[in-house]
Amino acid sequence: MKQIKTLLIAALFIFGASQTMNAQAKTAHVDVSEIMAKMPAMLDAQKQLEKLSGTYDTDYKKMVEEYQAKLKKYEAESATVTDAVNGDRSKEVQDMQKRIVDFRDNAQKELQQKESDIVKPLMEKVRASIQKVGKAKGFQYVLDGSTLLLADGPNITADVKKDLGF
């Protein structure tokens, strides 16, 4: 009876250990931010965004310079013109301020939208590649290495870059 009890406990222990081993999943990590930063299509996209941003900056600076010139002129002439003219000029300056703020806000929104439109398909391509490489190597989980605190598993970043062709 004692031997059966010991045998039963040993069987349960072995069964529990095998369940623990089966529960452990194969994991790897990948640094998505590194891949995105070095991806040729992303580098081209950044150049496009910088060019568009430069265009917006130039237009914005012109608007501000025009605003400052008018403001300076109006301040210099304010004592020599009528109150009605000063009122009209004040309204014009306020309208210019509003146009400048609206332009800046719209430019920022357009840049963000353009970036999103460019980055989204690239990110989907990277995700697909990560899934392809991860499955080919038999991993059940692939974690983004840019947010890991401990990365003991294999790093498949180089394999994903190779799959993407760079």
pLDDT score recorded for residue 87: 92
Predicted local distance difference test score (pLDDT) of residue 154: 81
Element (H, E) at 100: helix 83-136
Lowest mean pLDDT among 42-46, 67-71, 124-128, 143-147: 143-147
- Please check whether residue 23 is in contact with residue 149, taking contact to mean a CB–CB distance below 8 angstroms: no
**pLDDT cut 70: percent of the chain above it:** 81
SS3 letters for 31-65?
Answer: CHHHHHHHCHHHHHHHHHHHHHHHHHHHHHHHHHH
- Number of structural domains in the chain: 1
pTM of the model: 0.66
Q: Which domain holds residue 13?
A: 2-164
User: DSSP state, 86?
Assistant: H
Q: Are 100 and 60 in contact (CB under 8 A)?
A: yes
> How buried is residue 113: exposed, middle or buried, by Cβ count under 10 Å (0-12/13-18/19+)?
exposed
Amino acid at 4: I
**What's at 121, amino acid-wise?**
P
